[in-house]
Amino acid sequence: MKIIKAMLVSIFILGVCRPAGAESFDVKSLKYFADVDLFTVGTAENRLEDQLRADRAAGDIEHYNLETNAAIGGRIGVLHPIEDLADVGLSWGYIAGPNGSWQANAFKRQEINRRFFRLLAEVQRTFQINDRFSLLGGAGLGMAWGRQEFVTEYQAAAWENGVVVDTFDQHFHGFTWELSAGMTYKATEKLSVDLGVRYAGFPHAPNAHDVYNRQEIPGMDWNSFGIFTGVRF
C-alpha cells in the first residue's frame, strides 16, 4: 500500500510542476466531466466481522448475521491538458454507503449508514485506438470526509415491534486515493462517454464508542473495487 501511495504522490508532483513552467493558461482548453461510481463492499466489514466471530467463539453470542450493500456515488470535475503528458485537475464527489446491518442472536440488531465526501486531485491520460475509441487511465489523490450513523435496536419478539434504544454518529476524515482504467467513446466532437473500473482506498475509521450501551464498535478500513461510467465535454 505504501508503494501505491508513493507512486500516486510522484504522479501528482509531476503534474503540478509541469504546468508551473507553462507559458500560458487557456481557459478554452479546460475539459469538464461527470461520473457515476459503484463500489463493492470490499474490506468495509472485515474488522466488524472479526469481532463478531470472536464474540461467538467466546460464547457471548450464539450466532450472527451480517449484511452490507454496495456503495454508489457521483463526482464532477475539471481537467486541464499538460502538453502531451496528461490531463490534470480537480473533482468533488459524494458516496452513499456502504450501508450495513448486523444481528446478534434474536434480540439485538444494529444498522450502520455511511456517507463520504471526497476532494481529489486527478490525473488522466488517454491512448487513442481509432477515431472513436481510446483507452483511459487515471489516478486520484486527496481527502475524504466520512460519517457513520449507528442505530441499535433490542427485540424481544418480532422485529416490527423493536424499540430504537440508541442512535449516534461518528465523523472522521483522512487520505483517499484511487486508480482507474477503462475506455472512452467519442460520441460527438464535444462529448465523450467513459466506462471503466477503479480500485480505491478510503480513510481509516477508528473504533466507535457507544456510550449508551457501554460498548466499542470496530472501526472500518475500506478498500474497494468499483465500476464507473460518465461523460466529458
> Range with the lowest mean pLDDT among 3-17, 97-111, 159-173?
3-17
pLDDT category of residue 164 using cuts at 50, 70 and 90: low
Of 98 and 151, the one with more pLDDT: 98
In the chain, how many H helices and how many E strands?
2, 12
Q: Report how far Cα 10 is from the mean position of its chain's Cα atoms.
A: 22
CB atoms within 10 A of CB 163: 8
What pLDDT does residue 63 have?
A: 86
Per-residue b or e along 63-84, where b marks 16 or more CB atoms closer than 10 Å to that residue's CB? ebeeebeebebebebebbbbee
What pLDDT does residue 4 have?
A: 47
To the question of domain 2-21+31-232 being in CATH 2.40.160.20, the answer is yes
Say whether pLDDT at 24 is over 70.
no
**Whether this model's pTM surpasses 0.75:** yes
Range 105-134 average pLDDT: 92
Dihedral sign for Cα atoms in the order 149, 179, 73, 94? positive
Indicate the SS3 state at residue 29: helix
Cα distance between residue 22 and residue 81, in whole Å: 11
